Each structure stands twice: as C-alpha cells, then as structure tokens.
Structure 1
Amino acid sequence: MSGTYWALIGLLAVAAFSIRVAGLLGGVRIRASRHAWMLDELPGLIVVSLVASSLAGQPLPTWIAAGVALGAAIMTNHVIATMAVGVAAYAGLGWLGM
C-alpha cells in the first residue's frame, strides 16, 4: 500500500477515536448537569419514537396488533411475552382476513 492509503487509515482511526472521546466527555458533562434526569428516560423515549414512526401509515390490523401488544406489555412487563402476543395478534388478524 502507498503512503496515501496509510495516511487515510490513520486519519480515519484518529477521527473514530476522537468521536468516542467526545462522546465520553460530553456524557460526563451531561451527567453532571441539571439535565441528567433526561438520560433516565431516554431509552424508553427512543423505543416509543421508533414504534410510532414505524406505525405511521400502516393499515388498521397493524394498529390493532400494536394495541394488543401494548396491553400485553402493561400486564406482563415482559419483552418476549409482549413480542409473542403482538405477533400472534397480527397473525390472527391475518388469518381472519383483516
């Protein structure tokens, strides 16, 4: 390999390391700030935003299956049970011709 390739590899390695260090330092500063409470809620908010964006524009059976899965999540507080119930509801609605 020529020196240009090695320079590019070195530059990309430094950039990747810098991004990780910046994230680490930023995380430390956020945890020490008055906005640290938002970090506790962030994983749930990310999941809700992913589910909401994936449901946008979907047909009614998908929404019904999502509602059934939400009910299972509230009752069981178990991720795998929630997924199983949601998939079963969606399959059942498909079997019924919806």
Structure 2
Amino acid sequence: MKFSRRSFMLVTAGLASSLILERNVAAQTGPVLESDANAQALGYKTDASKVDHAKYANYQVGQACANCQFFQGKAGDATAPCTIFAGKQVNAKGWCSAYVKKA
C-alpha cells in the first residue's frame, strides 16, 4: 500500500493525538495526594481517622470515601476515582469535607 505525504501526516497526527490522550487519562487517574492544593482546600485525608475534628466539625465517625456518593468504586475497592477530584484515585478509607453519604 502506498501512502501519500498527506495520508502519512494524517496518520502520524492521529497516532500522536491518541498517545497524548492516553497519557493525560493515565495522569488523571493517579492518586490524590494530601499535599495537592485541592486536597488541602477540602481537608482530604487518606485515613479518615486522622481528620482534624476541630477544623472539620461536620466530620462524623464512620464517614469515609467508600460510603460517599462521589466515590466511583465498588464495595470492597481499596481506591477508586472520585468526581470531586476530577477522577483521580482516592483511598476508600479517606475523607474530605465534600463528603455526602451515599443514598
């Protein structure tokens, strides 16, 4: 099969775009770090037992990412994407001030 210069350029551009998209998706699915600016703003902790009760008076024992409506995982998942953190992975035992109990 013979490629024209134009076909070659289109195929090359398409491949490059798909590789960049895959890399961006992989970067978004990384873990949320407590040091991330958004995580700090929301008081995210990877371990809910370490939440500052004085600063986050709305926190109640038993609240965790795993039973929050924004947690996108299944029961038993150790980590899963969270809609609050743009699909990044949160710890099921974690907590942040955006917590809303699953219905």
Question: So what's the TM-score if we normalise by structure 1?
Answer: 0.31
